[in-house]
Amino acid sequence: MTSPPRTESELLARAGALSGLTLSQIAETYRVTVPDNLLTRKGWVGELIERCLGADAGTRPEPDFRQLGIELKTLPLDRDGRVRESTFVCTASLINGPGTRWENSLVRRKLDTVLWIPVEADRERPLAGRRVGNPFLWRPSPAQWRILEQDWNSIMDLVLTGRLGEISANRGRYLQMRPKAASGRSLCEAIDADGNRIRTLPRGFYLRARFTSELLKQAYL
DNA sequence: ATCTGATCATCT
DNA sequence: AGATGATCAGAT
């Protein structure tokens, strides 16, 4: 197991060393077998990169590199270098609590600093041969923070006033809320319009691919 | 081609 | 149950 990086520059150096390598080259180092596809191993690439870089948050609701407060995200790109998928940020608490104010929210903490690792994700290309790209560090600009906060507040307002039915993935400019569950039968706690506890589908926050595409573009200007 | 809703694996 | 890592796949 790789030890956690002590400094941001150490982390960036480690990430930079991966760029240009294929997933099989990286997996070899860790004696890990590359699956044939991601159908039943959807998080495999992210988990591999985490191990390489020494992420230590495990399953805790915290940034991956706890000491540095940095979150790690892979960014899947198609053959033309376009972002293929939205980016999961965190699960959302649907009942009132300490994390239901923007200032204390998990979204804010996780997006404070993000290390993005572009990875080839063209379905036609075998997983083992897909290459890792140049990492880039992102801290939201004041303007980006404002929109993220607006998105978060408008969605969470619906959540906390029991209007879950009005939430769909088309709300939010940068952030959206979508199901995040093992299946459609998964349930978690929420509240209805009268404040009663109900059971509903678990949801998570995601960054739109449109938005992360802009981050990628800016990073390489 | 893009977007939304649904789903898969693993760990505590 | 609920957190982590995400991508799948049908609809638009």
Q: What is the pLDDT of residue A100?
A: 87
User: Which portions of chain A are predicted below pLDDT 50?
Assistant: none
Residue ranges of the domains in chain A? 8-220
When the pLDDT of each residue in chain A is averaged and rounded to a whole number, the result is: 94
**Nucleotide nearest A189 (Cα, C1'):** C1
Q: Which fold has domain A8-220?
A: ECO RV Endonuclease; Chain A (3.40.600)
pLDDT tens digits, residue range A26-63?
Answer: 999 888 899 999 999 999 999 999 999 999 999 899 99
In DSSP terms, which residues pair with A198 in a beta bridge?
Answer: A190
A42 CA from C7 C1′ (Å)? 5
Q: Which nucleotides of B are covered by protein (CB under 7 A)?
A: 2-12
A203 touches strand C (CB under 7 A): no
